[in-house]
A and B are shown apart, each in its own frame.
Chain A
Amino acid sequence: MKKKNTSVKPLNFTSGWEYAPAPESADHIHLEKQYELFIDGKFVKPGKGKYFDTINPATEKKIASVAEADEQDVAKAVSAARKAYDKVWGRMPAPERAKYIFRIARMIQERSREFAVIETMDGGKPIRESRDIDIPLAANHFFYYAGWADKLNYAFPNQQPAPLGVAGQIIPWNFPLLMAAWKIAPALATGNTVVLKPAETTPLTALKLAELIRDSGLPDGVVNIVTGAGRTGAAIVGHPGIDKIAFTGSTDVGKLIQKSIAGTDKKLTLELGGKAAHIIFEDAPINQAVEGIVNGIFFNQGHVCCAGSRLFVQESVADMVIQKLKDRMETLIVGDPMDKNTDIGAINSKEQLQTILKYIEIGKNEGGEIYQSSCALPGKGYFCKPTLFLNSSQSHRIVQEEIFGPVLTIQTFRTIEEVIEKANNIPYGLSAGVWTDKGSKIFNLTSRLRAGVIWANTYNKFDPASPFGGYKESGFGREGGLHGLMPYLKF
């Protein structure tokens, strides 16, 4: 059945049966008009009294004002964290620490619906994803690391693991609560205290997490959450009282951080950009591979550092894969993120939408053959159609640079050697995907692809027990699993 009959009329996905709107209710959530900084167990006003707006990218409406922390505010947060580390948290018996972390995990589960709705309002991701993926995974991370808290001596036998002190953590806007969990859970489990800065476009779930942490009875100052943009982040990175920086975000900022802490004894982990190769061999389960391609690039509007954004298809099945991919794209529902049937929500911010559109223009000018699904976009809000670039070349900028949006480049290949060379020929090395029914081929590729995470016959699977991190310009250090404890310990 490999030959396609070109005279056949394509399947019709545009009419027939439309799903009525099924919006998730936002009635049950409570949001303040204004959010302060969470320092030493209390919400306090910023010293300079400055605030910025956080908006809903699907409606372009303001949701709340959020405090902007300056150097002094950050210094207060760091000294609160230091005090909590010296007096309480660093000395607390590990089983006691574990109890607090378990409690946070359970409370996230209890309030999961509220978190899901706010995550979707503030960030634009579909409610299906925040409900089924982001929030449950965030709770699971706390559960997982709570379990390690009193077993560090078994994780690292005869190495006398000890906490570092105060961890400064800066997280991105693509998985706001989940990234907070990835950062906070291992830091607490290992006995460190935390100053965390969420991204300026998506601060709300981190601030709701601050409320939850306050309600959980975690000792004051163990977790401090300060909001703001790049300047606030720079203040955290530059503060001499910080023992460790954990950053997830763009490669450019990661390089700046690395430069600015050079010469200090701060420890550093960076989880940066990516441009993953997603490789489909002719002997793959093609129908499922197409689903994997869709999950790889259109999950979270493509705002995923490990997104499978460079598709490599073996030439013998390329036409078939592209045909199936186009059909599948017709069934993706783009629109109101709060609708339970939405597959692709809003782009996180106006700036990001402009970046994506700029790259689409670049792609067209480079001569890439563009294909977009026929869906209509809402009149308001920041939206982008799922986009393919067929016949892409290795030297196209859209192939080389991270777009961080629902844009997939497609290249074909003939031999294994060729695809490995092309897959590795990129400054990034965060993730990759391989689809083939042949186990030996999978192992051959996983050992030769230079990427931190490689999925075989699936894509974008996350688990707290599985380490995650990159090679090359995708950063260093691992989060998740046993490996995720190490960056927060000295031996």
Chain B
Amino acid sequence: MAQLQIPDFRKSTIVDQVGIEERVSRFNTRSIKKESKVKGLKLVLSMIDLTTLEGKDTEGKVKQMCYKAAHPHDALSGLPTVAAVCVYPTMVGTAKQALAGTGVKVASVSTAFPSGQSTRQVKLLDTKFAVEHGADEIDMVISRGEFLKGNYAFVFDEIAAIKEACGTARLKVIFETGELSTLDNVRRASELAMHAGADFIKTSTGKISPAATMPVTLVMLEAIRDFYYATGKMVGMKPAGGISTAKSGLQYLVMLHETLGADWLTNKWFRFGASSLANDVLMQLVKEKTGVYQSKEYFSAD
């Protein structure tokens, strides 16, 4: 009988935190000006998963956000749409309808987001519900309790099962790195999720602080690179939560560019999970075009 090639995740690659932080601070010395800035900002905009994940979300709010996703700022020509909107499963149908024909994808969180504290059965139903209502992408959370316990097989099976339930929808696996406590754990979770079939790995739910940080994202990007060289498979990356300025968007982009190269510089392989980032990017793009900053009131807050 053929043996499955699943590595022992207790032996995942070691990460040195000091080295990671140094590398990040070096990325942040890059000075992005003029045409490279405009190109970078447009890329950032095109990589955004415009997100609303609140208990008080309404269909009206989701519809308005969907319009914003497809028309980020019509006063400025030549802008891309954002990559996707990210909503709860119950809002998928509404979003799908609102975005019909725009090319903007609909992502749904799932698996008892954000805590993941539920049974496999419920998580599968949650996922199937979202997929049946037209979700193009599923953002699942892992069972952090089982992961921290060292029960890697449980988490592996969980991801594999959800992946199967996704069908053709692309699966993003959220680690909630703010709860994993070490970069070694982030690396281990990354390897585990990629081997279990993740299409994307994602830092956070946005509900726990710290959410995405550059060091955590770098560890995950390096894991993606090593996985690519080992298997030939590309995996996407999505930092989420806490990225709200165009400047930090560009810093993440520099890090992506210099870690994984040109092939990942597209919204097929990189996303920002963010809500307020889009408007800051738009403000900077208008400034690059006109030479002056406009106030926040000139940009729609959806």
Contacts and interface: CB of A to CB of B under 8 A. Distances in A.
Question: Are A and B associated in one complex?
Answer: yes
Contact of A1 (B13, B22, B43, B262): B13
B244 to A, nearest CB: 22
A263 interface: no
B54 interface: no
Interface residues of A, number: 37
A457 B18 contact: yes
A1 B227 contact: yes
B43 A17 contact: yes
B132 interface: no
B153 to A, nearest CB: 18
B226 A1 contact: yes
Given A287-B15, A288-B19, A341-B30, A20 B228 contact: no
Contacts of B32: 19-20, 22
Interface size range on B against A:
35 or more
B29 A132 contact: yes
B34 A20 contact: yes
Max count, chain B CB within 10 A of own CB: residue among A1, A292, A340, A457: A1
Contacts of A288: 15-16, 18-20, 23
Interface string B244-275: 00000000010001101111010000000000
Given A8-B229, A128-B29, A287-B222, A17 B257 contact: yes
Nearest to A132: B29
B22 to A, nearest CB: 7
A262 interface: no
Interface of B is mostly: helix
Max count, chain A CB within 10 A of own CB: residue among B31, B191, B263: B31
Contact of B19 (A11, A12, A14, A457): A457
B14 A284 contact: yes
B16 A16 contact: no
A11 B257 CA distance: 10
A283 interface: yes
A258 interface: no
Nearest to B39: A17
B35 A20 contact: yes
A286 B258 CA distance: 17
Given A11-B260, A12-B261, A128-B29, A4 B14 contact: no
Interface string B31-43: 1111111011001
B258 A331 contact: yes
Interface in B1-33: 7, 12-16, 18-20, 22-23, 29-33
A13 B12 CA distance: 26
A17 B23 CA distance: 20
A19 B262 contact: no
Contacts of B261: 11-13, 16
A167 to B, nearest CB: 35
A22 B260 contact: no
B230 interface: yes
A17 B262 contact: yes
A93 B29 CA distance: 43
Contacts of A354: none
8 contacts: A4-B230, A5-B229, A5-B231, A8-B231, A16-B261, A16-B262, A285-B13, A340-B29
